[in-house]
Amino acid sequence: MTSTPSDVAVLLTNLGTPDAPEPSAVRRYLAEFLSDPRVVEISPSIWKPVLYGVILRTRPAKSARAYREIWTEDGSPLMAISKRQAEALRQRYGDALCVGLAMRYGDASIGYALSKMFDHGFSRILVAPLYPQYCAATTASAMDAVTLELGRMRAQPAIRTLPPYYDDPLYIGALKASIDRQLAALDFEPERLLLSFHGMPERTRTLGDPYYDQCKRTAELLAERFELPIDVAFQSRFGRARWLQPATEVVLASYPAQGIKRIAIAAPGFSADCLETLEELGIRGRETFTQAGGTHFARLDCLNDSDEGMAMLDALIRRELAGWWPPA
């Protein structure tokens, strides 16, 4: 980490990824991820035997096969894109502002990155979880990792956090521009745009998590800007509990019977493409749709490190750093 003229730093955070598309690496990742009480809200005495006795014996091999479908020369797409996002911000700020990257699970942990920033003299740190919609399993879990590290420190940095930006005009405008650009490049005209958000158990909503409502609000604001009809669904169901509805795979399978055979699908809840967008939507989602009789399917990229996405992130960060940076 290079020194800068300022004591202010930005720490981008995202979920994380296995470090290789192999069962052993996926097992380590899933063991950490699925042991987080923010992710699985079941008593450990009940959950841990299931996790270690069943899930971690069977799921890693299946997930590793899925990761191999999308793995790149630069490694995991999520990690590679996140690094490009951080580097794009560094190019914008030069040596005037430090930008770091951390993951909640796996390598490059949030606690390690935070402590290293402070050790290098950055006493004011903006933590920026790259989750547009707030969810306890994502945003709150990232902040748990921050507060855990702060609890180990005698001297602590001042901390700000990037709030959810699900309804921010900067975010909605970036999504609109990105989707428009990608739709214009297609060789067919979609009859429907499906917005797929990551799912959560329905009970999290009834317990007060605002995630569902924020996803719906994002979709409503986008729908106001499109003539193309927009639907909303939730993907990545896991376990037997009831999850947020409707399920993405069910919606995809139902379209052709309704006469909807040309669609585009976007995942605005993800700031970077990952297993859930590239494999679950781009490969398995396409198969579900075409096997049901669909003829044209387009998976649209997340904002990633696109011009639209980086301009939005830059503006959000500059706004949250007001009074700290740039120095007066």
- pLDDT for the residue 3: 42
pLDDT in tens, 179-194: 999 999 999 999 999 9
- The pTM of the full predicted model, rounded to 2 decimals, is 0.95
CB atoms within 10 A of CB 71: 18
* Predicted confidence (pLDDT) per residue in 224-259, tens digit: 999 999 999 999 998 788 999 999 999 999 999 999
Average pLDDT, the chain: 96
Would you call the peptide bond into 60 cis, given omega within 30 degrees of 0 as the criterion? no
The arrangement of secondary structure in 169-299, i.e. its CATH architecture, is 3-Layer(aba) Sandwich (3.40)
- DSSP reduced 3-state for 210: coil
Are 269 and 212 a contacting pair, CB within 8 Å?
no
Entry field: residues in the chain: 328
Taking 60 as the threshold, does the pLDDT of residue 2 lie above it? Answer: no
Q: What is the separation, in whole angstroms, between the first and last Cα of the chain?
A: 24
What pLDDT does residue 5 have?
61
Edge-to-edge order in the sheet of strand 158-161: 98-105, 8-16, 124-129, 158-161
CATH 3.40.50.1400 fits 8-164+308-320, yes or no: yes
User: What DSSP letter does each residue of 73-98 carry, written as one string?
Assistant: TTB-HHHHHHHHHHHHHHHHHGGGSE
Mean pLDDT over 78-97 rounds to 97
State the pLDDT at residue 1.
Answer: 44
Per the CB < 8 A criterion, the answer to whether 234 and 246 are in contact is yes
241 vs 313, which has greater pLDDT?
A: 313
What pLDDT is recorded for position 107? 85
- CATH 3.40.50.1400 segments of the chain: 8-164+308-320, 169-299
